């Protein structure tokens, strides 16, 4: 196999994963089909089975790709030292709300979508999705810990619990935003969370 063919194969594989992120974010697992994917990507169905053993193996890779993408988004916001820690959180929620609006509230959170569908049915998915969410919680906790250092977050605050609370509320707000086709649930959670943090000073 030549270098060019390997590169082309890697590009096609990555393209299938990118399409999967878009489809699963909008439709979830049970409404997603391999036939739809290969038609959208304009590749033979055999290409899919060449790169992925089955739908589950494929979806686990899509989850990993989505987490890598989302971790970079979190880092770009929560690591932005031009803003205060709470300002970074507000910037993230505003950006996420704008993204949902841009996609007309058809797309939610891939992790939230699959968690609602699969966590109670499949132990492998439950563990993988839980690990992803814990990673997001840890990244937010670091931001809140910085808030402690600069006086925006109370010194006695349990930032681990607070980060977990945020993501629980946020994922619920993403679902409500899809149902209502409105960013209002997202803005409500953002405002309530920040007000809660400030009230604990």
107: domain CATH number is 1.10.357.10
Domain total of the chain: 1
pLDDT class for 5, splitting at 50, 70, 90? low
- Asked if residue 49 is part of any domain, the answer here is no
pLDDT for 45 beyond 90:
no
Question: How far from 68 is each of 20, 65, 120, 159, CA to CA, in Å?
Answer: 14, 5, 24, 23
Note whether residue 121 is domain-resident: yes
State the residue range of the domain holding 168.
Answer: 59-199
What are 141-189's pLDDT values in tens digits?
999 999 999 999 999 999 999 999 999 999 999 999 999 999 999 999 9
Q: Where are the alpha helices (DSSP H) in the chain?
A: 3-27, 34-41, 45-51, 55-78, 85-102, 110-118, 123-150, 159-180, 184-199
For residue 97, being part of any structural domain is answered with yes
Is 112 contained in some domain?
Answer: yes
Q: Does residue 82 fall inside a structural domain?
A: yes
> What pLDDT score does 200 carry?
85
Answer yes or no: is 44 within a domain: no
What is the DSSP-derived secondary structure letter of residue 53? S
Residue 140 pLDDT level (bands cut at 50, 70, 90): very high
> pLDDT tier at 136 (50, 70, 90 boundaries)?
very high
| 46, part of any domain | no
């Amino acid at each position: 196999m030549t270098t060019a063919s390997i590169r082309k194969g890697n590009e096609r594989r990555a393209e299938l994963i990118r399409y999967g992120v878009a489809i699963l974010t909008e439709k979830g697992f049970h409404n997603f089909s391999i036939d739809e994917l290969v038609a959208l990507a304009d590749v033979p169905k055999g290409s899919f089975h060449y790169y992925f053993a089955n739908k589950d193996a494929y979806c686990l890779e899509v989850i990993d790709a989505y987490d890598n993408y989302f971790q970079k988004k979190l880092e770009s916001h929560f690591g932005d030292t031009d803003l205060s820690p709470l300002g970074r959180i507000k910037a993230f929620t505003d950006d996420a709300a704008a993204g949902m609006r841009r996609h007309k509230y058809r797309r939610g959170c891939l992790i939230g979508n699959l968690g609602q569908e699969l966590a109670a049915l499949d132990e492998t998915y439950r563990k993988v999705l839980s690990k992803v969410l814990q990673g997001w919680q840890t990244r937010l906790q670091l931001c809140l810990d910085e808030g402690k250092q600069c006086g925006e977050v109370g010194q006695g605050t349990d930032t681990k619990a607070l980060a977990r609370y945020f993501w629980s509320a946020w994922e619920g707000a993403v679902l409500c935003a899809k149902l209502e086709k409105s960013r209002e649930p997202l803005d409500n959670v953002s405002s309530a969370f920040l007000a809660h943090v400030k009230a604990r000073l």
